[in-house]
RNA sequence: UGGCCUAUGGUGUAAUUGGCAACACUACUGGUUUUGGUCCAGUCAUUCUAGGUUCGAGUCCUAGUAGGCCAACCA
């Protein structure tokens, strides 16, 4: 009765089948295996939610494993950033692992393969090896070193390990099938010489295992039951299984690799190379710029972990090409923020309003509801006085009846305050309205219970008392790209689609309750959107980011007005 | 010229494995509302094509078509 039977995705179907056919629930184990060579982005978030979500669903442990087999690209800084991001998303890993933990075991197994005649040292250049690899339509040819003796292979491999050779002099290759229709089975490289210090093993090793020789074996060591990766690894599965065949013992669980389609977000690029260009060419301010699709960027922008998890859950997982519309992410961000974000009033594009029949030095503190979605959030006080700011867009000298805002001779309610009527306005020499003179209905105060206070007027505006307002920098973000698939155009560089107006900085005027806002605090600026306090913010100089606008039916309607 | 994967509304996923194509988002209607927000109700599909099997096909068979992946000492 409680929850409607949720339909399973294809990965869950596989697991359910395995459970029916002999796997026990406590054999289930997953892992999230990033290479620590960059920052995590929304695509990784989807994979994190898949693996950790499965862990939660089946009560199974999930390891965080760093695939750190290439010291040329990897750094501790990224390890730390990745841990912080996964943690922020709200997931707990059972155990923190590193492929580098397994270097010795991997090496020992490699010697075993040599002894069994399943691996050999090749002494050709990488160009020669590539040449012999053939093409997808033509078979490869065998290396002249393919039939070295076990003794010679062992001697050479140990020499490689001991640092007797320069980079590129030798590699260790698996001896499989140079004519396989799967290029990866044509004697793949297992080890290469790299005289580079590793962020964890330092100079202990100068040979490093390749991905294919490392990943499945690491899964095996950790007894991962289902090793999930993206579709481009599908051809690797045959090799994954071949390596496992060489060393799996009967009494241990044999990991399975299964592949799913990576999620693509519209109006976004995620490749490290492209994000780096955005950073280097100063299109954004850094990897955590709120416009970046990195987890750190989304965190800074004010997205909540819950909204990202809900998003990942909603889009699901499958095997076909996809481009998820970014509006779905926006929906989940709004959906969660609507429930948790306190409402406040802030004016970003001020127009002065003078209440001519309000006392010159008058001031009163009105009750304002913090969140109509959350009764427990209570009320706060908001100051009212004779001179206020409203948004410029909220006043027109004249307008048709679809304009539910302030116009000359018309009435409108000030949120939490009084009903006012626009009597006149003054303009500068260019004809721009710079001030509106209004009268207020003295008995119409919100919540006072008077007949006047219950009057219905079409339109409620947010506002702020000028003399009480605090000023703050507000950063208004828009999509970084104007095209849905910026990097899918053959003849155009993705940089051509950068939105020139993705950031606008304004000075906002806010109700004084915001004075003590702390970095990361989230608010709804009523009628405008959700905002949070940026990292750059200081107590005396607050900085807000617009996380996402409110849904705006009026903006669409406006053209027709 | 080879091998492998995929195809369901504008978008992303479902369909008890052969039994009324469902859910969410978007868009559009209307209602409620002291946020043009939220909330509520409604509208939007020849399941890539053509044949076939069947009482019955998104699902099975055959032949096409389209898209993707594979030739790093990257992961």
- Checking each nucleotide's C1' against the CA of A372, the nearest proves to be B38
- pLDDT tens profile A410-430: 999 999 999 999 999 999 999
Mean pLDDT value of segment A132-144: 96
Whether A371 CB is under 7 Å from strand B: yes
Query: How far does Cα A273 stand from its chain's mean position?
Result: 17
pLDDT reported for residue A490: 84
User: How far does the CA of A40 sit from the C1' of B26, in Å?
Assistant: 28
- pLDDT tens profile A541-554: 999 999 999 999 99
Q: Tell me which protein residue sits closest to nucleotide B7, measuring alpha carbon to C1'.
A: A320
Backbone φ, ψ for residue A450 (5° rounding)? -70, 165
User: How far does the CA of A129 sit from the C1' of B48, in Å?
Assistant: 41
- pLDDT tens profile A192-244: 999 999 999 999 999 999 999 999 999 999 999 999 999 999 999 999 999 99
Contact yes or no for A476/A530 (Cβ under 8 A): no
Q: Tell me which protein residue sits closest to nucleotide B15, measuring alpha carbon to C1'.
A: A7
- Checking each nucleotide's C1' against the CA of A419, the nearest proves to be B34
Q: Which two tokens stand for residue A10?
A: 């294809």
With a cut of 90, say whether residue A149 has pLDDT above it. yes
Whether A51 CB is under 7 Å from strand B: no
Q: Tell me which protein residue sits closest to nucleotide B22, measuring alpha carbon to C1'.
A: A7
Strand B, CB < 7 A, residues 283-312 of A: none
- pLDDT tens profile A379-388: 999 999 999 9
Strand B, CB < 7 A, residues 88-107 of A: none
Whether A43 CB is under 7 Å from strand B: no
With a cut of 60, say whether residue A561 has pLDDT above it. no
pLDDT reported for residue A5: 58
With a cut of 80, say whether residue A173 has pLDDT above it. yes
Mean pLDDT value of segment A307-326: 96
The catalytic residues of A are 35, 262, 272
With a cut of 60, say whether residue A1 has pLDDT above it. no
**pLDDT tier for residue A7 given thresholds of 50, 70 and 90:** confident
Q: Which two tokens stand for residue A413?
A: 């309610």
Whether A135 CB is under 7 Å from strand B: yes
User: How far does the CA of A400 sit from the C1' of B29, in Å?
Assistant: 21
Which strands sit side by side in the sheet containing A30-32, from one edge to the other? A30-32, A62-66, A95-98
pLDDT reported for residue A2: 33
With a cut of 70, say whether residue A175 has pLDDT above it. yes
Q: Work out the mean pLDDT of chain A and round it to a whole number.
A: 96
pLDDT reported for residue A3: 41
Contact yes or no for A143/A158 (Cβ under 8 A): no
- pLDDT tens profile A273-307: 999 999 999 999 999 999 999 999 999 999 999 99
Q: Tell me which protein residue sits closest to nucleotide B35, measuring alpha carbon to C1'.
A: A527
- pLDDT tens profile A90-137: 999 999 999 999 999 999 999 999 999 999 999 999 999 999 999 999
**pLDDT tier for residue A534 given thresholds of 50, 70 and 90:** very high
User: How far does the CA of A515 sit from the C1' of B27, in Å?
Assistant: 40
pLDDT reported for residue A120: 98
- Checking each nucleotide's C1' against the CA of A11, the nearest proves to be B13
Strand B bases contacted by the protein (CB, 7 Å): 1-8, 10-15, 17, 24-28, 34-39, 67-75
Whether A16 CB is under 7 Å from strand B: no
User: How far does the CA of A75 sit from the C1' of B44, in Å?
Assistant: 51
**pLDDT tier for residue A559 given thresholds of 50, 70 and 90:** low
With a cut of 50, say whether residue A519 has pLDDT above it. yes
Whether A129 CB is under 7 Å from strand B: yes
Strand B, CB < 7 A, residues 483-542 of A: 524, 526-527
Report, in this order, helix, strand and coil percent for chain A, each rounded to 5. 30, 25, 45
- Checking each nucleotide's C1' against the CA of A335, the nearest proves to be B38
User: How far does the CA of A50 sit from the C1' of B41, in Å?
Assistant: 35
- pLDDT tens profile A441-461: 999 999 998 999 999 999 999
Q: Tell me which protein residue sits closest to nucleotide B25, measuring alpha carbon to C1'.
A: A328
pLDDT > 70: percent of chain A:
99
pLDDT > 90: percent of chain A:
96
- Checking each nucleotide's C1' against the CA of A137, the nearest proves to be B2
Q: Tell me which protein residue sits closest to nucleotide B4, measuring alpha carbon to C1'.
A: A235
- Checking each nucleotide's C1' against the CA of A457, the nearest proves to be B34
What residues form DSSP beta bridges with A389?
A: A352, A464
pLDDT reported for residue A560: 56
**pLDDT tier for residue A557 given thresholds of 50, 70 and 90:** confident
User: How far does the CA of A412 sit from the C1' of B42, in Å?
Assistant: 31
User: How far does the CA of A13 sit from the C1' of B57, in Å?
Assistant: 22
Predicted ipTM of the assembly: 0.96
Q: What is the C-alpha separation between A523 and A122, in angstroms, rounded?
A: 62
Contact yes or no for A206/A107 (Cβ under 8 A): no
pLDDT reported for residue A334: 98
pLDDT reported for residue A556: 81
User: How far does the CA of A484 sit from the C1' of B37, in Å?
Assistant: 26
pLDDT reported for residue A481: 97
| CA neighbor of A302 nearest in space, from A549, A17, A69, A20 | A549
- pLDDT tens profile A467-485: 999 999 999 999 999 999 9
Strand B, CB < 7 A, residues 414-433 of A: 415-416
- Checking each nucleotide's C1' against the CA of A552, the nearest proves to be B36
Neighbours of A1 (CB within 10 A): 3
User: How far does the CA of A264 sit from the C1' of B69, in Å?
Assistant: 16
Please give the sequence-ordered ranges of beta strands (E in DSSP) within A189-295, or none if there are none: 189-193, 207-209, 226-230, 256-260
Whether A340 CB is under 7 Å from strand B: no
**How is A490-527 classified by DSSP, letter by letter?**
SSS-GGGGB-TTSEEEEEEEE-GGGGG--TT-EEEETT
Whether A281 CB is under 7 Å from strand B: no
- Checking each nucleotide's C1' against the CA of A138, the nearest proves to be B2
């Amino acid at each position: 009765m409680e929850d409607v039977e949720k339909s399973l995705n294809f990965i869950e179907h596989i697991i359910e089948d395995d459970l029916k056919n002999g796997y026990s629930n406590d054999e289930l184990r997953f892992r999230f295996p990033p290479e620590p060579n960059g920052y995590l982005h929304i695509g990784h978030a989807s994979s994190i939610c898949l693996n950790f979500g499965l862990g939660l669903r089946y009560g199974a442990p999930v390891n965080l494993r760093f695939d750190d087999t290439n010291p040329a690209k990897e750094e501790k800084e990224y390890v730390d950033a990745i841990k912080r991001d996964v943690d922020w998303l709200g997931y707990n890993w059972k155990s923190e692992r590193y492929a580098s933990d397994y270097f010795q075991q991997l090496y020992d197994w490699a010697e075993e393969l040599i002894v069994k005649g399943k691996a050999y040292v090749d002494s050709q250049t990488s160009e020669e090896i590539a040449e012999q690899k053939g093409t997808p339509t033509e078979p490869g040819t065998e290396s002249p070193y393919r039939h070295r003796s076990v003794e010679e292979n062992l001697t050479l491999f140990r020499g490689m390990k001991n640092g007797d050779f320069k980079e590129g002099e030798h590699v260790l290759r698996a001896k499989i099938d140079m004519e396989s229709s799967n290029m990866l089975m044509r004697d793949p490289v297992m080890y290469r010489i790299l005289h580079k210090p590793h962020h964890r093993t330092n100079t202990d090793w100068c040979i490093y295992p390749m991905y294919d020789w490392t990943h499945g074996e690491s899964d095996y060591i950790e007894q991962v039951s289902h090793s999930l990766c993206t579709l481009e690894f599908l051809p690797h599965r045959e090799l994954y299984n071949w390596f496992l065949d060489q060393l799996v013992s009967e009494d241990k669980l044999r990991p399975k690799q299964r592949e799913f389609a990576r999620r693509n977000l519209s109006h976004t690029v995620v490749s490290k190379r492209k994000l780096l260009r955005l950073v280097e060419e100063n299109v954004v301010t850094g990897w955590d710029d709120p416009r970046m699709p990195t987890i750190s960027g989304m965190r800074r922008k004010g997205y909540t972990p819950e909204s990202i998890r809900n998003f990942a859950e909603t889009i699901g997982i499958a095997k076909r090409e996809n481009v998820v519309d970014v509006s779905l992410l926006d929906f989940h961000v709004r959906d969660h923020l609507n429930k948790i974000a306190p409402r406040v009033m802030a004016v970003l594009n001020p127009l002065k309003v003078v209440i001519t029949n309000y006392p010159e030095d008058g001031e009163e503190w009105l009750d304002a509801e913090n969140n109509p979605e959350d009764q427990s959030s209570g009320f706060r006080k908001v100051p009212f006085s004779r001179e206020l700011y409203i948004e410029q867009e909220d006043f027109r000298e004249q307008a048709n009846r679809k304009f539910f805002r302030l116009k000359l001779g018309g009435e409108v309610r000030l949120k939490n305050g009084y009903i006012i009527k626009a009597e006149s306005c003054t303009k500068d020499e260019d004809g721009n309205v710079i001030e509106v003179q209004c009268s207020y209905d003295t008995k119409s105060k919100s919540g006072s219970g008077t007949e006047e206070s219950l009057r219905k007027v079409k339109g409620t505006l947010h506002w702020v008392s000028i003399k009480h307002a605090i000023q703050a920098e507000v950063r208004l973000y828009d999509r970084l790209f104007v095209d849905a698939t910026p990097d899918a155009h053959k003849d155009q560089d993705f940089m051509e689609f950068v939105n020139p107006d993705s950031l606008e900085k304004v000075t906002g005027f806010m109700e004084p309750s915001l004075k003590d806002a702390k970095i990361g605090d989230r608010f709804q600026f009523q009628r405008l959107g959700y905002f949070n306090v940026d990292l750059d913010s200081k107590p005396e100089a607050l900085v807000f980011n617009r996380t996402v606008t409110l849904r705006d039916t009026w903006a669409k309607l406006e053209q027709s007005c």
